[in-house]
Structure 1
Amino acid sequence: MKPSIYLASSAFALALSAAPAMAQDAASTDADTTASSGDEIVVVGTAGAGMRRQDAAFAVTSLDADAIAEAAPASTADVLKLVPGVAVESSGGQNGANIFVRGYPSGGDAAFVTFQSSGVPIFPPPTLSFLENSQLIRIDNTVARVEAVRGGTGSLFSNGQPGLTVNLVQREGGQYFEGMLEGSITDYGQYRADGYVSGPIDENTTFMAGGFYRQGTGVRDPQFDAEKGGQFTVNLRHDFSNDSSMLLYARYLNDRGQWLLPIPVTQNGDEISEFAGFDAHTGTLASNDVRYTTLNNGDDVDLARGRGAKVFNVGANFDVGVTDSLRLRDRMSYMGGTTFTVGLVPSGPPTTLQAYADNLYLAGVSGATAAPGATFTYVDDGSTVAGTQQVMQAGIWTVDKRIDSFVNDFAAEFEMGPNKLTAGVYYADYYARDNWNLGNGMVLSAENNARRIDINYADGTVGTRDGFMQGSTYFLNAAYDGQDIALYATDELQITDQLRIDGGVRWQRHTVDGYVRQPVSVDLDGNANTLYDNNESTFGPTQTPISYRDDAWSFTGGANFEIMPGIGIFARYSQGKSFPQFDNLREGVTDIATVKTVEGGLKVSGPMIRFYATGFHNDFDGLSSVQLVGTTPTVASGGAEATGVEVDGSVGPFYGFSLGFAGTYLDATYQDFFTGNGTIDNTGNRVQRQPKWQWRVTPSYELEVGGFRPTVYATVQYYGDRFSDPENQQLLPSFYQLDAGVSVDVMERLNLRVTGTNLTNEIGLTEGNPRIIGSQGSGTILARPILGRSFTFSAAYKF
């Protein structure tokens, strides 16, 4: 880490009695963003001062605490289902979501999504393999609101994200002591406790502290507590007499959850049904029998580690009023800790045990033309297994990362009459150390809570050891150190009371240094008759250096015109850049992605209606991603184009009733885009995993009954058909999801809530088999459905 060159700017801000503000934090306290007023303040996508959403010449969504609570998001990424233009796959559990934006091609994770806390990226690279930003922060009662900007000005500020930038705005204290305690439990036995307290320290200083803790099995019960952990956040705000302020905050996250992966289901065209013996709604291969294992290299693995993070984040925001026309702002953040992924990764659909054993022998014994007889036994109790038993292969994958980052964003804002000029400098220094061990395939019974099976052949050949039929097939040891420095400038000009224009440029320099230790394959015990360890991947003697340096320009220009109070239109053109990150560079991919966007929209905001509609067209060039096919990194690269329309808003025709809505139409296709390391041309194919149509409608009705105020609400969501792969061979059929809930306020202090998700028990697929290229065929396939029906009961007391 080399943050010293930017500590000077922070010290300067402090010397001027600076403070954290960025109006985003000043406005983050009590929900001051009323849905009907149109006065909701957003900071994301601005130079730091914030502005009314109605005045923004870009597509932005703001979600307050009530909207988040009613959505009952299962994870941090899940809340983005409320944002049009975004396709979210959160069926993988609390961590490791796949998030796609406006047709940006990606093989998974969240390559074009940046999460911020108080206006600062939590970790500057938006995605590394087995790590995307939403894994590093949780949404709890310490979050006042969530802001999300698509395209637009995102490529100018922060880390220059041209896709989606999401800002989690912290709750802050006010001049009255207050707080909340909340407890919840699910119908599958998981419990959670939330709470916060806030208030004044003196007339100019306030505080907030809070967090959550949870524990349970999750909907897909692995027979042990796979969901466990919590988060704690504290902040302190001080307002100075010279129109300046300071926000200091700290957050600790220690949380993990089961990494949910594809399971066997049956597909006939667009009809999906359960595979016999495997519950599509609650089933998982994980079990007590599979939980504790010892890999061929001697490593002991506990599957309960799942996917999660143990990180500490501290930050400071300063806002300094130097003169009536000059303000200085500085935002800094340090984050450090570890992230981890331990999962049971299936490699193919079920088959009979006898057929599997025959294929294992033929593939492992050189020159063999037929397999001898074999005996099959369960590992846990030694009992015999019939050759007709349905089995599947799944591997223990472990990925450990040590990460840290320092980010500083300093800006000076000069305002003279109708003109506001902002110039800033962004600096980030970040590090990652990776240790991967992939493969480690086991033979498992194809059923809920699978059991390990051993195979031994009549000729003395040993097929498995404690269920393992192979060891590591991809062993990675690597480290990377990245630095970004960017200079940006924007100018906003209020030409008339109705017309406002803006423009800006950004120059960014991106450097990465690191190394990859190349693996080698060995016969671990030197015995060819033990098939399970004959091709073990391990450390090799060769270390390959990585060195990358390049720079690029981004720019944007837009205009906002207020036709009349509460009705406006906007238009914008932008060109953003996305630099190659660690995983691309490891595979020799050095392309800088260019995204050109034309967008425009209508904004209507009044006491009974809010309506926002945005049309856009994106051209992508130089896009590259690395996908694991089996356990082999495979490069996909090229271009794409996307045209779409996003709408969201709400109507409240009479007291107590509101109808929220959001929808997206997206026509996104590949252009000169190749997969399979350049061997497969996907030109004209639909961009993978992003539907043409998706929408959600949320009616809500509140009434008063004596001292009670019940609210009934529901959400109907539609996800159009998609393809899981770029070759458009793995169809993911369209599906609906129905969620609903009842919330009751008792005497203004106590809130009781019941929320049900996927009430119709839909088997909606969000992922096929990402470990293969092309079709899985029909019949039994591997795919990842949404979670089955569940209910959450909660009680919250405000004081």
Structure 2
Amino acid sequence: MPTISSLTYAALPAACFLLALPAAAQETPVPAGAEAPASEETPPQDIIVTGSTRAQRRFDVSYAINTISQEDVEKIAPVNFADLIGQLPGFQTEITGGEVQNIYRIRGLPNDGGFVSFQQDGLPLFHENDGVFFRGDAILKQDLMTDRVEVVRGGPAPVYASYSGAIVNAITVTGSDVSRGKAQVTLGDTGLYRLDAYQAGPVGSDTYYAVGGFLRYHDGYRDNGFPNDKGGQIRANLRHDLDNGYVKLNVNYVNDHNAFYLPIPIADPRDPDVSLDPYIDYFTGTMNSPAFRHVNLRYRDGNGQIQSRNGDLSDGRHMRMVNVGAQYEGDFDGWLVSAKGGYTQGKLDFSAFYSTTNPAAAASFANGYRDRATAAFGAIDRFGYVLAGTDTVYDPSAASGLVMQGQYRDIHSNFYSAQGNLSVARKFDTGFGSHDVKLGLYASAYGEDSRTLYQNYLIEVAGQPRTLDLVAYAADGSELGRVTDNGVLNYAATLNRGDSDATMFALYANDTWEIVPGLRIDAGIRHERYSYKGWAALTDQANLGDGTTLADDTTRAFTGVILNQKLKPHATNWTVGANYDFSDHVGVYGRASHLETPPNIQTVMSINPTILKTVADQFEAGLKLAAGRSYLYVTGFYTNFDPLNASFLAFDPTTGRNDVNVPFVGEAQVKGVEFDGSWAVTPWFTLNGALTVSDPKYKSFESTTGADPEQVEGNQIVRQPKVYGNIRPSFDFETGGTDVSVYGRYTYMGKRFVDLYNNTALPSYGTIGAGVTLRRQGWQLQLVGDNLFNAHGLTEGNTRTDSLSGQGSAEAIYGRPIFGRNVRLVVSTSW
């Protein structure tokens, strides 16, 4: 597999040089631009290009799409990219993991992000939606270089992208004849310091540049004891306009650290009515801790040698990625030719501390090791706890009376992805209406490797917990041995290594047939063929031989044997839609789509993977109403997902491994309706809102391991609510030469369940945010706050142990709480 090239290191200084270029011609600025200047009759926020043969008005398309402008971003004031997308109808997101690697769910598709294709200017940066512990929001980040984001839900997404039930397409800023730029500083009461900037303009005749990005340091919404986020991104492009089109070159560079928040215990499992807030704060507490800044990871290699390496939790998800690309578009007497290509190379080093089992009473936890400790050390009089690596006594009864375990995950991956798209479109008239036909070829060569080690630790129940040792004592008080070793319960509980490479190509076609003005039928098809090859290193159980501890008795060790694997999956997707506009203000549409997603490339570097093609049939019908600045889009939808693979690997507290395979395969059926509206009540007051109401449920499940599929039948799909949405009022007026915007946001998330059996609920919650923006003579001042009243709400649950039958309580006592109240000040200047 290739290594990161020198382009990674050349991109940043080159882009910084462009950013330093002075603004030429200080004329009246235009908004951060679309791909081409727009006329007053076609405002850029109403023109879409994603999932479409050619640019057209949003009102004219026969599918659900939203455009998020920079002004929308400002008023939504999201805490991360998932929070931004989550304000759209049909998108249910969980924003509590931190800045990246959050959950994106599309109505009708029960998956945690694998069906959302992240693109930049119509091309993915990595072919698959999920890499090794990263997805699109880790390599494509929102900043001022994003002019707008276009989001397609369902509709033609399966034809225009792979693995796609939705497309999130970031359209970048492009230069024009008028120089323009913006610099922005953001300060937050969570220790946030961020600088955003961009500059765009001409560099010569018909040639334009744009460059920008961000640098950010953030202590975090939760108190890790070290910074949560540090790093940034820079993007640049150069465009030259031709007589019949344009050529555009671009480069992206990301170098960013992001700590990951995992679930925390919020109530005592012995009595769920007893809060653990005095020990681990609901809003600021986390199991992330400086205690994991210098961990010793031990395992046995394929030659029988004991290896060790150091891990540092503060590294978080360290993403380094460079992407270079080129685009060409030309019009040859009505033949529209588009060619796009890009190459991405990156490296991910990921450290995180995952939740495993519920906290346990200290005495019960210790007694669970009595038999093993007696066999190893001899007769035991009693157990006791000390701070890890010391003889300093730790008394759990002086705190919560509980101890708990967690899992340090150390993951490393190199990845690359070359992708290209060539399409030709032509519109022609017939005796019965006109046809707009697009034919395309997409191809990609990509791959990734993985080195994974999971190691379990014993910790106290507290924010920034200390690691503990469980000590076995003789009757005379002497130490016989330790269950743990410097806090480690299990060295190398999970150990994997593998590599994979793939090639794929896709042929696709789409025809939009306008029968009469206002009546259009479109149909598209995409056929994909893949070729995977890879290997996985086999492991076995081993004892590393330290007789003073149990921590190394049941580790995983490489055997030196390699399992080579190949796979050649294929998929065929199609869509058919119809649209009729009664007038410029009223229209209806309907659509049927078929989505097939093959197994991802990681199957050929995994041992005993579940190889299953997933299939979803989606049906939509919509009503479109528009009048001036007001609009209402209502979309009814129905999805049948068959087969649905809801299998999972559960954590086994006896072995400390995530190796309990619980296979569950069946169907999912989701029907519902989504509302997307904006009501311009007066010239100075606008009310925006989004609402999704659905019935997500399981059907016809089977299991081969004794789990009862009947208890799943008809249940609500895990972690998916029946109702969710938001409402966003905005007041915009001018006073004393200052433009003022005052806005708010109420977000509601309905009741969900953590488990297939629907035994443990995640209660519904709602949060309120508000902000004010002042603009005067190119300067802008914004003050914005989230969750102003510290509403309580949980996401996720504890997926390592509760996915089948819950947490033993009616409401979750273990999960990822939403972020508490936080405030940000944003100061910017435009020129």
Q: Give the TM-score of the pair, scaled to structure 2.
A: 0.88
Give the structure, 1 or 2, with the largest relative contact order (CA under 8 Å, sep 6 or more).
1
- 1:771 aligns with 800
Deviation at 1:633, TM superposition (A): 6.7
Aligned partners of 1:272 and 1:31: how far apart in 2? Answer: 60
CA distance in 1, matches of 2:106, 2:273: 27
Among 22, 44, 47, the residue aligned to 2:50: 44
Partner SS state of residue 521, structure 2: strand
Distance of aligned partners of 1:464 and 1:367 in 2 relative to their CA distance in 1, 3 Å threshold: closer
| Structure 2 residue 556 is the aligned partner of structure 1 residue 556 | no
Distance 1:56 1:370 in 2: 76
1:787 lines up with 2:816 in the alignment: no
Give 1:14's aligned residue.
none
Query: Distance in 2 between the 1:307 and 1:623 partners?
Result: 30
Residue number in structure 2 paired with 1:257? 258
**Hey, what's the Cα distance between the residues in 1 that align with 2:445 and 2:422?**
15
CA RMSD of aligned residues (A): 2.6
Aligned to 1:61: 66
> Partner of 1:18 in structure 2?
none
In 2: Cα distance, 1:490 partner to 1:680 partner? 44
C-alpha displacement of 1:454? 1.8
**Cα displacement (A) at 1:645:** 0.7
Q: C-alpha deviations, 1:454-505, integer Å up to 9, x for none?
A: 2221141222221112111111101111222111111111111111111122
Which of 448, 460, 464 is the matching residue for 2:463? Answer: 448
Shift of 1:355: 2.8
Aligned pair partner of 2:155 in 125, 147, 152 = 152
Say if 1:649 and 1:661, in contact at 8 Å, map to a contact too: yes
Q: What secondary structure does 2:488 align onto?
A: coil
Deviations 1:400-421 (A, max 9, x none): 1111101111101122132211
- Letter of the structure 2 residue corresponding to residue 767 of structure 1: E
Letter in 2 for 1:709: D
Alpha-carbon distance between aligned partners in 2 of 1:698 and 1:36, rounded to the nearest angstrom: 25
| Match status 1:538 vs 2:548 | no
Q: 1:30·1:171 contact (CA, 8 Å) conserved in 2?
A: no
The answer to whether structure 1 residue 403 and structure 2 residue 415 are counterparts is yes
Shift in alpha-carbon separation, 1:240–1:387, aligned structure 2, 3 A: closer
- 8 Å CA contact 2:448, 2:499 repeated in 1: yes
User: Partner residue of 1:246?
Assistant: 247
Preserved CA contact (<8 Å) 1:135 1:308: no
Q: Does 1:750 align with 2:766?
A: no
Residue 156 of structure 1 aligns to a residue in which SS?
Answer: helix
Question: Is structure 2 residue 577 aligned with structure 1 residue 568?
Answer: no
The one of 619, 622, 629 aligned to 1:598: 619
Q: Please name the residue that 2:659 is paired with.
A: 632
1:679–1:376 distance in 2 versus 1, CA, 3 Å: closer
Q: Aligned partners of 1:272 and 1:177: how far apart in 2?
A: 61
Is the 8 Å Cα contact of residues 450 and 499 (structure 2) preserved in structure 1? Answer: yes
Separation of aligned partners in 1, 2:684 and 2:280: 44
- Counterpart of 2:267 in structure 1 is 266
Q: Would you say 1:86 and 2:91 are equivalent positions?
A: yes
Aligned pair in 2 of structure 1 residues 671, 780: CA closer, same or farther (>3 Å)? closer
**How far is 1:171 from its partner?**
0.9
| 8 Å CA contact retained: 2:733, 2:739 | yes
Aligned counterpart in structure 2 of residue 687 of structure 1, from 717, 726, 730: 717
Q: Letter of the aligned partner of 1:547 in structure 2?
A: K
In the alignment, the residues of structure 2 paired with residue 263 and residue 160 of structure 1 have an alpha-carbon distance, to the nearest angstrom, of 32
- Cα deviation, 1:581-608, whole Å, max 9, x if unaligned, reads 1345534323222211111101122213
What does 1:656-671 correspond to in 2, within 5 Å?
656-671=684-699
Partner SS state of residue 80, structure 2:
coil
Describe the superposition over 1:87-133 as per-residue Cα deviations: whole angstroms up to 9, x where unpaired: 10120111221111113123x3x111110011001212112452222
Name the residue aligned to 1:122.
125
Task: Provide the secondary structure at the position in 2 that maps to 1:485.
Answer: strand
Residue 325 of structure 2: aligned partner: 315
* Aligned partner of residue 568 in structure 2, secondary structure: strand
- 2:497 is matched with 477
Aligned-partner Cα distance in 2 for 1:264–1:56: 47
Partners in 2 of 1:272 and 1:185 — Cα distance?
36
Following superposition, the deviation at residue 247 of structure 1 comes to 1.4
Q: Which amino acid aligns with 1:317?
A: Q
Are 1:188 and 2:190 matched, yes or no? yes
Q: Aligned residue for 1:738?
A: 768
Deviation at 1:363, TM superposition (A): 5.2
Are 1:673 and 2:701 matched, yes or no?
A: yes
Contact 2:639 2:671 in 1 (8 A): yes
Q: Provide the C-alpha distance between the structure 2 equivalents of 1:164 and 1:444, rounded to a whole number of angstroms.
A: 41
Greater alpha carbon shift after TM alignment, 328-337 vs 356-365: 356-365
Q: Does 1:699 align with 2:701?
A: no
* 2:10 corresponds to: none
Letter in 2 for 1:793: L
Mean alpha-carbon deviation: is it higher for 282-291 or for 261-270? 261-270
Match of 2:442 in 1: 426
Give the drift of 1:760. 1.3
Structure 1 position 28 matched with structure 2 position 43? no
Q: Is the 8 A contact 2:541 2:556 kept in 1?
A: yes
Partner Cα separation in structure 2 for residue 433 and residue 364 of structure 1: 38
Q: Is the 8 A contact 1:480 1:515 kept in 2?
A: yes
- Structure 2 partner of 1:496: 516
Match of residue 728 from structure 1:
758
What secondary structure is seen at the aligned counterpart in 2 of 1:728?
coil
Task: Return the letter of the residue paired with 1:517.
Answer: A
1:288 positional shift:
2.2
5 Å matches for 1:231-380? 231-241=233-243, 243-266=244-267, 275-297=277-299, 298-322=308-332, 324-362=333-371, 366=375, 372-379=381-388
CA contact (8 A) 1:739 1:755 kept: yes
Secondary structure, in 3 states, of the residue corresponding to 1:159?
A: coil
The alpha carbon displacement at 1:765 in A equals 0.6
Most deviating of 588-597 and 192-201: 588-597
CA distance in 1, matches of 2:283, 2:214: 27
Aligned residues: 768
**Partner SS for 2:266:** strand
Give, as a single letter, the amino acid of the residue that structure 2 aligns with 1:623.
L
Structure 1 residues 680 and 316: alpha-carbon distance in aligned structure 2, compared to 1, 3 A threshold: farther
- Preserved CA contact (<8 Å) 1:553 1:577: yes
Inter-partner Cα distance in structure 2 for 1:97 and 1:675: 29
Contact 2:456 2:493 in 1 (8 A): no
- Decide which moves more: 585-594 or 199-208: 585-594
The secondary structure found in structure 1 opposite 2:72 is helix
Aligned to 1:205: 207
Letter of the 1:556 counterpart: T
Structure 1 residues 31 and 750: alpha-carbon distance in aligned structure 2, compared to 1, 3 A threshold: farther
**Aligned match of 1:607 in 628, 635, 641?**
628
Residue identity matched to 2:115:
F
Query: How far did residue 54 of structure 1 move?
Result: 0.7
Look up the match of 2:403: 391
CA distance in 2, matches of 1:410, 1:303: 43
What's the counterpart of residue 181 of structure 2?
179
Aligned-partner Cα distance in 2 for 1:282–1:156: 43
Specify the code of the residue in structure 2 equivalent to 1:259. F
Q: Distance in 2 between matches of 1:169 and 1:636?
A: 39
Letter of the structure 1 residue corresponding to residue 659 of structure 2: T
- Structure 1 partner of 2:303: none
State the partner residue of 1:136. Answer: 139
Range with bigger deviation, 615-624 or 587-596: 587-596
Structure 1 residue runs without a partner (length 5+)? 3-24
Inter-partner Cα distance in structure 1 for 2:588 and 2:793 = 37
How far apart in 2 are the matches of 1:525 and 1:50?
67
Structure 1 residue 567 displacement after superposition: 1.7
Instruction: Indicate conservation of the 8 Å contact 2:389/2:487, yes or no.
Output: no
Letter in 2 for 1:614: T
C-alpha displacement of 1:542: 2.3
Q: Indicate the larger mover: 341-350 or 406-415.
A: 341-350
